[in-house]
Structure 1
Amino acid sequence: MDRITLGNDEFEGRNNVYVLLDEETDDLALVDTGVSAPDIRADLEDGLAARGYGLEDVDDIVLTHFHVDHAGLAGEIQAESDATVFVHEADAPLVEHDPEAMTELDERRRELLDVWGVPAEATAELLSILDGTREIDGKPADATPIEDGTILEVGGRTIETVHAPGHAAGLCCFEIVDGGDGGDGSEAFVGDAILPVYTPNVGGADVRVDRPLEQYLETLRTIVDRDYDRVWPGHRDPIDEPTDRALAIADHHRDRTERVLDVLEEHGPADPWTVSAHLFGDLSGIHIVHGPGEAFAHLDHLHHEGVVSLEGGEYRLIESDVDLEEIVGTIE
């Protein structure tokens, strides 16, 4: 798979932009774009130039989700090339920088930070970083919405959209069903659905997602059921055993659920911020929302399963003898 790696100072590692090219027609497509920053844009331009192309030659852009490290340059590329920008309908308004959608996201984040018990000083630190636009940086793009099952013909490839929510409401995998290596459905672009080193954040990375852990576990089941031979993630190197990786991430969340239960049993009722402190220690930067968001995702799941109650913003353990296989589910 032809990819260009771009800088990213976040913990997930270097971003991947995948280049799809039909050499007969010169039809050029990109899967994701990287951060909107002069040095990152220059790296992308250099990568395309080494292949004999420029940003103006891009015909299609396929976005796995709206986060700035994946969609940031889409609008700039589209302005130069008139490329079609495909993104799931849930994320399209954010890629377009729709004022209403951006305001709703910002207000929802502020509301949940308060509900999760995040202290005022930590909230102020986070918002000074985000400033309401951290996740939606760059030039707006005119987005073409897609949904689960949408078939795209881009860069000489036929790819099928597989909605994979959890980390983001509109996150999608794109299964390669025709053209080039892996053209039999055995490979896919997966964005941040699964990553080779870290587990994608659930709960804080996109506060619009309802029942985030439940939705993410279903995404992992989808990846296991499709049993890909190899997948191409949004960060770092390809994953050669994606089924095993998805199962390992599911085990990770089962273990984390157990740790959350241990916190409540040992320390009594607590809000997500307090639980996250026991799980992760002191938090700063973007982790101020990722930490309690992750704790909330697990507490919320336990609440819906009747294991904990929610009173006055605090979660209280009401059932100590818990079958984690039944609560979190088994993915096989």
Structure 2
Amino acid sequence: MTDPALPFELGVLSLGNTAFEGNNSSYVLGTEPEATTTLIDTGVAEPTTEQQLRDGLDRQGLSVADIERVFLTHHHSDHAGLAGEIQAESGCTVYVHEADAPLVEQDSAAMAAQSERLRVTIDRWGMPDAKQTELLRFLDATDGIGGRPPTVTTFDGGERFDLGSVTLEAVHMPGHAAGLAGYAFEGRDGTELFSGDALLPYYTPNVGGADLRVDGALAAYLDTLAGIIEREYSRAWPGHRGPIIDPTGRAADIVAHHRERTERVVSVLRSGPATPWEVSAELFGSLSGIHVLHGPGEAFAHLDHLSEARVVTESDGTFELVVSDPELDPLFPDVAGTRTEEMS
């Protein structure tokens, strides 16, 4: 696409994804002469999605074999699933944050630890046996979308990558995933950001259930949002749906959303002690598919945030309110004056 605010050509690919949160957005850079042909995120490893990727590249006058670099925003299969296939065909270098590298490479020890962590965690959250079975069957059914594992090159944030037509700066943005990374670059109207799932339009990225490795997931994500607000990006290109024209306002809206959700969690606990599963039922109602994991994970992230502030205590997975009317403002970044008031 030709965008007057961009100093380079950008191809935007919408790739189908029925397993999780709707179509993924992948981005093609470096189509100019002497530039490094680059793909940001790849979509799930499913035949239909792979064909959409190939068709999208063809519209850019490219093939998979032309891809020289792939930058992944994080390890989730809807962002990294086709990386191994692309690398096998093109010989490209695949970059990912070091925290997510073992899962992208499907390291056996990391995958085994992930499975064990899931089993222990959903039991600790108080998830009923029937729902545990439902969740595990769902995850087994989608296991193949991770595709063949690539060999990856890692970074830890702050590195700059010269693509010829544009320079990308890796920005570590944990919360939704331990190794989630955005890629900042200079547009004509200011610094823009490929934000992956750190910043999405219309709905909020899951925290707590999306990556069980993240300690203090809500606190980590709030720090990420505060960083987005501080840098005042002029535009963000997310991992799902279209560009975000006010990243600062959107990040502030999400901070306010999480504060409001924390208030709801406190309200639930005023009726008595509860597990993350019981809190999630009050917040979200009946859950299915991946949301069987994401719902109680989100509830746990908020309960954990309150626990760190000594507003609640935990005993054997059950949380109890110990401050009846807590002051929540100190638990969240100050976003006064930066919100868009367009939360949905």
Q: TM-score, normalised on structure 1? A: 0.95
Question: Is residue 298 from structure 1 mapped to residue 302 from structure 2 by the alignment?
Answer: yes
Matches within 5 A, 1:121-136: 121-131=130-140, 134=143
1:323 aligns with 2:332: no
Describe how 1:4-153 pairs up with structure 2 within 5 A: 4-9=13-18, 12-25=21-34, 27-131=36-140, 134=143, 137-153=146-162
Q: Which amino acid aligns with 2:261?
A: R
| 1:53 Cα offset (Å) | 1.1
- What's the CA shift for 1:327? 2.5
The secondary structure found in structure 2 opposite 1:175 is strand
Q: Quick one: distance in 2 between partners of 1:93 and 1:135?
A: 17
Relative to 1, partners in 2 of residues 1:45 and 1:218: Cα closer, same or farther, differing over 3 Å?
same
- Residue 251 of structure 1 corresponds to 256
The residue type equivalent to 1:35 in the other structure is: V
Counterpart code for 1:193: A
CA RMSD of aligned residues (A): 1.6
Aligned 8 A contact 1:204 1:291 in 2: yes
Please name the residue that 1:230 is paired with.
235
Cα distance, 1:224 vs. partner? 0.3
The answer (yes or no) to whether the contact 2:192–2:233 under 8 Å persists in 1 is yes
User: Contact 2:45/2:145 (CA < 8 Å) preserved in 1?
Assistant: no
Partner of residue 195, structure 1: 200
The residue correspondences of 1:208-223 to structure 2 (distance < 5 A) are 208-223=213-228
Cα distance change, pair 250–61 in 1 and its aligned pair in 2 (3 A): same
1:320 Cα offset (Å): 1.2
Corresponding residue number in structure 2 for 1:240: 245
Alpha-carbon deviations, 1:125-183, whole Å to 9, x = none?
A: 11111129749711100010111101112363211111000000000110014xxxx16
> Which residue identity is paired with 1:224?
I
Equivalent position of 1:308 in the other structure: 312
**Using the alignment, how far apart are the partners of 1:14 and 1:171 within structure 2?**
19
- Give the drift of 1:27: 2.4
Q: Is the 8 A contact 1:176 1:184 kept in 2?
A: no
What is the CA distance between 1:233 and its match in structure 2? 0.2
What SS does structure 2 have at the residue aligned with 1:253?
helix
Name the TM-score, length of structure 2 as normaliser. Answer: 0.92
* Offset at residue 285 of structure 1 (A): 1.3
- Contact 2:46/2:145 (8 A) holds in 1: no
- The percent identity for this pair of structures is 53
> SS at the partner of 1:131?
helix
Counterparts of 2:233 and 2:51 in 1: how far apart (Å)?
33
Q: Matched residues in 2 for 1:135 and 1:279: separation?
A: 31
Structure 1: 5+ residue stretches without partners: none
Instruction: Indicate the SS of the match to 1:159.
Output: strand
Letter in 1 for 2:153: T
Equivalent in 167, 179, 195 of residue 176 of structure 2: 167
Residue 51 of structure 1 deviates from its aligned partner by 1.6
Determine helix, strand or coil for the equivalent of 1:270.
coil
C-alpha separation in 2, matches of 1:206 and 1:133: 16
Q: Is the 8 A contact 2:124 2:316 kept in 1?
A: no
Instruction: Give the alignment partner of residue 263 of structure 1, picking from 260, 268, 273.
Output: 268
Equivalent in the alignment of 2:165 = 156
SS at match of 1:252: helix
* Distance in 1 (alpha carbons) for counterparts of 2:306 and 2:175: 16
Task: Give 1:321 shift.
Answer: 1.8
Residue 49 of structure 1 and its aligned partner are, at CA, apart by 1.0
Q: Letter of the aligned partner of 2:109 in structure 1?
A: E
The Cα shift of 1:106 comes to: 1.1
Counterpart-to-counterpart distance in 2, 1:91 and 1:51: 30
Unaligned runs of 5+ in 2: 1-9, 337-344
